[in-house]
Amino acid sequence: MTKKRILITGAAGFLGSHLCDRFIAEGMHVIAMDNLITGDKRNIEHLFGREDFEYYHHDVSQFVHVKGELDYILHFASPASPIDYLRIPIQTLKVGSLGTHNLLGLAKAKNARILVASTSEVYGDPLVHPQSEDYWGNVNPVGPRGVYDEAKRFQEAITMAYHTYHGLETRIARIFNTYGPRMRLNDGRVLPAFIGQALRGEDLTVFGDGTQTRSFCFVDDLIDGIYRLLMSDYALPVNLGNPDEITINEFAEEIIRLTGTQQKIIHHPLPVDDPKQRQPDITLARKELNWSPKVQRKEGLAITYQYFSRLSKEDLYKDIEGKKF
């Protein structure tokens, strides 16, 4: 029997690499694509040499061509942390607009089903709590986070346009904070930032007064949600995340207990437009996908800490541009 073929963009990134593993495990032939602007080829090198895996170094903001039939496309190519999209704002906008357009065109040409990775950032600094899919958001389009927020909002709009106008089979995942092995330690997001600071013996930096909240979903749960959404018949956006909400101060204390370190918590000013609350309403995912997170934060953090603690000293002291601290 011929294997189903799936294109995964952003395949060398945190989520993309786990998706490669999952869809190979599901018996598919995976075509991985990444330009490595924020991805790391080491995340997928264990798959090189397999007959059911191929990798292409390519920027999807340029024309995308894939030989042969294609059944599915997962569009996960995008910078995904503030430190990334503040450094490369134009590329962030292009991959969310031009890149999405290219991949929707490819999906149309191949008659393939496409799932795009949207984000909880489409809700901005929300005035509704928790956030459900029918909330339109509170986004500053010209603020420092606007390049990411608006790229993803445009991505959703053009995806739905292809669905309604061309009849394309599309899926939209609004992904909330996700963590686990293969995250970049110094990508600026709070979980790897705290663990990295603890491993380096530094004080933990909390922005603002620490009462802002986040909800963290372990990567295995998120990947299962993506798989279920792709295989579903639901075309409108679906929140995927863990509704177990925690303040940043409480989270910092958890990391200190986890790592057994004696670091203090220090406070810096809150970045512009940083959301004060973030908690997904996953009622729709439960109903349409029969999905909800299974991994408790204590278990997921232990696995993640073990991964980070095995990193080399060079990786531990690199920032996003490869410079020493």
Label residue 320 by pLDDT band (50, 70, 90): very low
> By residue range, what is the domain housing residue 300?
181-214+244-278+296-316
Quick one: tokens of 316? Answer: 């531990």
What pLDDT is recorded for position 321? 46
Q: Is residue 287 part of a domain?
A: no
CATH code for position 260: 3.90.25.10
DSSP 152-216: HHHHHHHHHHHHHHH---EEEEEE--EE-TT--TTSS-HHHHHHHHHHTTPPEEEETTS--EEE-
Going by DSSP bridges, is the β-strand pair 213-215/245-247 parallel, antiparallel, or unpaired?
antiparallel
3-state secondary structure of 294: coil
Residues 29 and 146 in one domain: yes
Structural domain contains residue 285 = no
- For the CA atoms of 73, 124, 220, 179, the dihedral, rounded to the nearest 10 degrees, stands at 120
Same domain, 138 and 165: yes
Q: Which of 55, 311, 324, 294 is nearest to 182 (CA)?
A: 311
- Same domain for 159 and 197, yes or no, is no
Q: 48 and 165 share a domain? A: yes
What whole-number percentage of the chain has pLDDT above 70? 98
Q: Which CATH number belongs to the domain containing residue 152 in this structure?
A: 3.40.50.720
In a domain, residue 283? The reply is: no
| 323 in any annotated domain | no
**Residue 9 within any structural domain of the chain:** yes
CB-based contact 236:171 (threshold 8 Å): no
Over residues 152-164, mean pLDDT? 98
Q: Which residues of 31-60 are buried (b: 16+ CB within 10 A; e: fewer)?
A: bbbbbebbbbeebbeebeeeeebebeebbb
Average pLDDT over residues 76-98: 93
CA distances to 5, 139, 189, 218, 279 from 274, rounded to whole Å, are 39, 11, 12, 22, 14
Q: Is pLDDT of 180 > 90?
A: yes
Our answer to whether residue 165 is catalytic in this structure is: no
**What's the mean pLDDT in 156-172?**
98
- For 246, other C-beta atoms within 10 Å of its C-beta total 16
- Lowest-confidence pick of 51-60, 206-215, 291-300: 206-215
What residues contact residue 143 under an 8 Å CB cut-off, 6+ apart?
272, 273
The C-alpha torsion from 275 through 240 and 181 to 277, rounded to 10°, is 20
- Asked whether residue 72 is assigned to any structural domain, the reply reads yes
More confident call, 311 vs 302: 302
Same domain, 65 and 199: no
The active-site residue out of 55, 72, 123, 148 is: 148
Based on the fold, state whether residues 150 and 165 are members of the same structural domain: yes
Residue 264 lies in a domain: yes
Q: Work out the mean pLDDT of the chain and round it to a whole number.
A: 93
- Contact (CB, 8 A) for 138 and 125: yes
- Tell me which amino acid residue 261 is: T
One domain, residues 148 and 260? no
CA gap 106, 5 in Å, rounded: 14
Give residue-wise pLDDT tens across range 99-124.
999 999 999 999 999 999 999 999 99
Residue 129, token pair as written in the block:
């709590």
Q: How many domains does the chain have?
A: 2
Name the 3-class secondary structure at 247. strand
Cβ count within 10 A of residue 25: 9
pLDDT at site 255: 92
Q: Which residues pair with 239 in a beta bridge?
A: 174
61/207 same-domain check: no
Q: What is the average pLDDT across 242-256?
A: 93
DSSP H or E run through 31? strand 29-34
322 within a domain of the structure (yes/no): no
Q: Do 200 and 85 fall into the same domain?
A: no
What pLDDT is stored for residue 273 in this prediction? 63
Determine the 3-state secondary structure of 241 from DSSP.
coil
Task: Say what the pTM is.
Answer: 0.94
Task: Assess whether 254 and 115 both reside in one domain.
Answer: no
pLDDT at 324 over 50: no
- Between CA 72 and CA 122 the distance in angstroms is 24
> What element of type H or E holds 255?
helix 248-259
| Helix (H) / strand (E) containing 34 | strand 29-34
Mean pLDDT of 29-48: 97
| 125/185 same-domain check | no
Q: Band the pLDDT of 144: cuts 50, 70, 90.
A: confident
Q: Indicate if 252 and 232 belong to the same structural domain.
A: no
